[in-house]
Chains A and B, each alone.
Chain A
């Protein structure tokens, strides 16, 4: 691909705006490795128990602009034993950190629902931090027909 003068200008203007607007410089979509690093940062390198956390995502999302997801972690949710937080990552989005839910014993149940953007077919990862310092991990693949980023 030849970089024309116009394209060079657009690129530099674009990256400037992006630099001012966002904490992540790269405009490329994240890789699974980037997401793994973020998961590791969230868990502090602790062992992740696979399962015991329910992540509900559609198998196929026709519109990546708004994909409903819900997460629920089985826990008595009392002062001694509760889910502190659940972080959601999307490993093919420009910024994989989607949302982090913070719960307390007053939440009653560790369950939350939201709507997310997915740029392309990718894995949605959920990691729960329990009050005893353990972590639970799960991931679902979502096939995306029309991406929800860029434009």
Chain B
């Protein structure tokens, strides 16, 4: 079961600064390779896509495969020129969509 996404973004930055952000979501990332107690393979269920946007413009995304560890962690950067809102979206194999937002003051 996926639940609470956790994201770390600086609250403040100067204009044109490149900031670093860390994202994590609780998720088993069932690879489809493991066998259950009954000897049958457990069906694959992973986060398969991650997207990050700033003021509705996507600036980073990732196509995620089953080789990513449980509780997928992704760290990346963004260049900020104005204050605004970051939005992070994770998409599950079952179609569920998880998202969270973070505000930043630039100036």
Using a CB–CB cutoff of 8 Å, the interface residues on chain A facing chain B are 10, 13-15, 17-18, 20-22, 27, 65-67, 70, 77, 90, 93-109, 111-118, 148-151
Complex Cα–Cα for A114 and B24 (A): 10
Using a CB–CB cutoff of 8 Å, the interface residues on chain B facing chain A are 18-19, 31-35, 39-45, 54, 57-70, 72-79
Residue from B57, B74, B75 within 8 A of A106 (CB atoms) = B57
Tell me the dominant secondary structure on chain B's binding face.
strand
Q: With A13-B40, A102-B63, A117-B31 given, is the CB distance from A111 to B69 under 8 Å?
A: no
Report the minimal beta-carbon distance from A16 to chain B, rounded to whole angstroms.
8
Complex Cα–Cα for A105 and B31 (A): 32
In the assembled complex, which residues on chain B have CB atoms less than 8 Å from the CB atom of A106? 54, 57, 59-60, 78-79
In the assembled complex, which residues on chain A have CB atoms less than 8 Å from the CB atom of B41? 14-15, 17-18, 21, 27
A-B residue pairs, 3 tightest by C-beta: A108-B79, A108-B18, A106-B59
Cβ A115 vs Cβ B35 within 8 A: no
Tell me the dominant secondary structure on chain A's binding face.
mixed
Cβ-closest chain B residue relative to A150: B33
Cβ B39 vs Cβ A13 within 8 A: yes
Report the minimal beta-carbon distance from B94 to chain A, rounded to whole angstroms.
12
Cβ B65 vs Cβ A65 within 8 A: no
Report the minimal beta-carbon distance from B63 to chain A, rounded to whole angstroms.
4
Complex Cα–Cα for A66 and B68 (A): 8
Residue from B34, B35, B54, B75 within 8 A of A114 (CB atoms) = B75
Residue from B39, B59, B65 within 8 A of A104 (CB atoms) = B59
Complex Cα–Cα for A1 and B19 (A): 57
Complex Cα–Cα for A149 and B31 (A): 8
Cβ-closest chain B residue relative to A124: B67
In the assembled complex, which residues on chain B have CB atoms less than 8 Å from the CB atom of A105? 79
Q: With A97-B67, A98-B68, A150-B34 given, is the CB distance from A104 to B77 under 8 Å?
A: no
